[in-house]
Chain A
Amino acid sequence: MKKLYWIFALLLLFFVGDRIGGYLLHQLTVKSQFRYSRMYQGKAASDILLIGNSRGLTFYQPYIEEITGKKTFNLSYNGMPINLAKLLVQDYLALYEKPALAIIDVTMCDRLNEPLISGFSLYSPYSENLSKYLIDSLPTTGYAGLLSHLYRYNSEVFQRSLFYLNKSDEDWLLDRTINEHLIQDVGNQEPKIDVMPFELAELQATINLLEAAGVKVQLVISPYYPPYVDRLTNLPVMKAKIEKATGKKVKDYAKGITDVKAFGDYQHLNKYGSKRYLDQLQQDGILPK
């Protein structure tokens, strides 16, 4: 009998500690200035919504606000897949009045990323969509998050929310110039990019959600380091597939910036490059004047 008490004591201690720990971490998440924390706390109303993966981070929010005078919110995250973006857009539209414009960098549709979606489970208490998705599509993560509240915070997303606890994340952008090694090595790169039917369907669903709410949607391909994009031979195929599936024109800026100084690496503009790119978007009428 004593042995059963021992097991009971262990379970009790684990769950009490887990719930207290989960509560404390939740409080930190609530206070964070991280974009998703702000979004679920009702502090992210905007006129322009930006959506993408790490390449979407080059939609440098403070500069857009400076040149357009419009409030902007960037939903992008490293490796963000389109199905997660759809869930976040759904939540955004439910929480806020409709923005006037949404810009999607469609190169985010090239991969799925279940670990990242699992990483967002810290926001599942706020989002029925996310909770339902986790239980239905990633049941191990979904149920583990119900069993252990600490587990919900076991992700890079939480670490980022801690990082931005007392500072804004709007400056989250590469601030370096592509190094000599990468420049020399570009000839050895054989990158591939493609879009699967599931991702096309999710992109279409995201566009439908936005347009049904009266949001104007612009699809773009942000710039790559030019010698790199020359090796990304199937990018035009991907673009064509997206245009065919969505019936919308994709504005292609893959080779839009040629200045080497504008890049942090092959796929990402740095702060300087981002500003040049955003100027171009405004000149072309994608961003309002």
Chain B
Amino acid sequence: MIFNSLPFFVFIGIFLPLYFSLKGKARLLLTLAGSYFFYGWWDYRFLSLIVISTLIDYIVGLELGKTQDKKKRKNLLLTSMIVNLGFLAFFKYFNFFIASFVVMLEGMGVDPSMSSLKIILPVGISFYTFQSMSYTIDVYFKKIEIEKDFIRFATFISFFPQLVAGPIVRAADFLPQFKNDRTFHWDRFTSGVGQVLWGFFKKVAVADSLAPFVDQCFAAPGGFSSLHLLIGVVFYSFQIYCDFSGYSDIAIGLARIMGFKFPDNFRTPYFSQNFSEFWTRWHISLSSWLRDYLYIPLGGNRGGSFGSIFFIVLFMFLMVLLSGWWWLALLNFVMIGAAYYYARQGATEKATLFNYMNLMVTMLLGGLWHGASWAFVFWGFLHGMYLVVQRLVGPYWNKLLNTLRIPNIIQTGLAILIVYVCTCYAWIYFRAPNFEIANQVIAGITSLEQFNVGSIVNKFWVLKGAILIGALLFVEITDFRFHYSRLIVANPTFRVVSFAIILWFLAFFGTYGSNSFIYFQF
């Protein structure tokens, strides 16, 4: 079931009155049943995966509470990781690994006769798997209490507002909220409705209106002018932002209506002035998950581990084998030699080098989390490179700007523009069906052929998209000053007027037809 569909409105119309009329265990059971129904509406067979993940992590959690034996605790953690990552590996990555393996063997002159399986990707598997794993890891490191109530634990894993596309909420933040009955609260309700409406505006009005133009650009970029393709890429940057943050807003708003507080998942990411800031504003729940459960365990800013070296060498090795570019092997050897020489200069240099490696590994695996394709890995690689280059060049860049006495406002604008342009460049690889199309889009834009308004096909879509992006940016920029979410609660007149305006926008600009959310595929 997706939020922008009639069945969901019927479901929520029945669910919410029932939810507030029940209390205690009955309410919890209703939430769990509702969540399973919500998920099962898409494909009931995959409910079994959630149930198995839930059961395993629940039992592992209980067992971890019973023993202090280090070896046994480690084995329990490994069991949870193997089951969760095993499901993920099979359903999401099996065909990808097989296809890559075939390419690799072909590159080595071996003729493999292997076929892929017809595997359906269960919606939201990456989200609930990470949420479930974070519980076991936190229990293992004794950061949180063990949850003994199975119904409460199962509801935490399958909570329908954020089940299929996040935000990924940590057990430490979410589980304690189940312990008290969440009573109906008018301010929470109005604020939640406001966020849900804003989420629908982003998804139904902005993202879905931009989608046809973007689809057209990436289907056959060769047929379009330079300006047309450039607009297509800019539109995609807003489409994916509005699609995903729209879903998060609806999820957070629904949870708030039900009495739960979720952290923000997006904070106007395209206003970031550097790439580190971007990752504290974009898909915050995933980037913080990767930071806490991958980047820091690898060594973070402080140093490295076997994992850092292992993943980097593995990616270098795969890059050479899969691309068939053997000169890359030479380049890799040179890079490894240079890194080794640099690391030998001293402890600080060694720590810096490991820091770069940890960043790169985190971003590469973060890219792979999005989907089983080398395009996503490359997208992660680009963001890893941005972070590394920023750390290398950043101090000199700032020094240069200060020496040239460039006014702060221009420095800020320039920084935002550079981050945005680099982000868009990476989005091209994220969106394109393959590298060939991505390269065609880039070549098309940089050729600057027919860079004029007359060359744009479907100017109506562009006009509509420009109006909607303008409205979105207007609200996001002015929100810094007016804090609309607070005004909605505090000022009833503002609430009525702002809700009505969003509803008019939805009526006049909304794209209807149950378009799915992009992040469902992840």
Contacts and interface: CB of A to CB of B under 8 A. Distances in A.
Interface string A1-30: 001001001100110011001000000000
Contacts of A154: 507-510
Interface residues of A, number: 26
B158 to A, nearest CB: 30
B392 interface: no
A66 interface: no
A159 B464 CA distance: 9
A179 interface: yes
Given A3-B186, A13-B497, A17-B500, A115 B507 contact: no
Interface residues of B, number: 22
Contacts of B507: 18, 148, 150-151, 154
Contacts of B495: 6
B522 interface: no
A227 to B, nearest CB: 16
Contact of A181 (B223, B508, B510): B223
Interface in B186-239: 186, 222-223
Contact of B512 (A9, A13, A140, A153): A140
B492 interface: yes
Contacts of A115: 513
B504 A18 contact: yes
A13 B496 CA distance: 8
B499 interface: yes
Nearest to A266: B223
Contacts of B351: none
A274 B497 CA distance: 51
A150 B508 contact: yes
Interface string B1-24: 000001000000000000000000
B6 A181 contact: no
B480 interface: no
A163 interface: yes
A185 B220 CA distance: 10
A182 interface: yes
Interface in A106-155: 115, 140, 144, 148, 150-151, 153-154
A17 B504 contact: yes
A154 B508 CA distance: 5
Interface in A162-197: 163, 179, 181-182, 185
B496 A182 contact: no
B314 interface: no
A156 interface: yes
A132 B20 CA distance: 41
A150 B510 CA distance: 11
Given A156-B460, A160-B460, A182-B223, A10 B496 contact: yes
Closest 4 A-B residue pairs measured CB to CB?
A: A150-B507, A148-B507, A159-B460, A13-B500
22 contacts: A6-B496, A9-B496, A10-B499, A13-B496, A13-B500, A14-B500, A14-B504, A18-B504, A21-B504, A115-B513, A140-B6, A140-B512, A144-B512, A150-B504, A151-B507, A153-B508, A154-B507, A154-B509, A154-B510, A156-B460, A159-B464, A185-B223
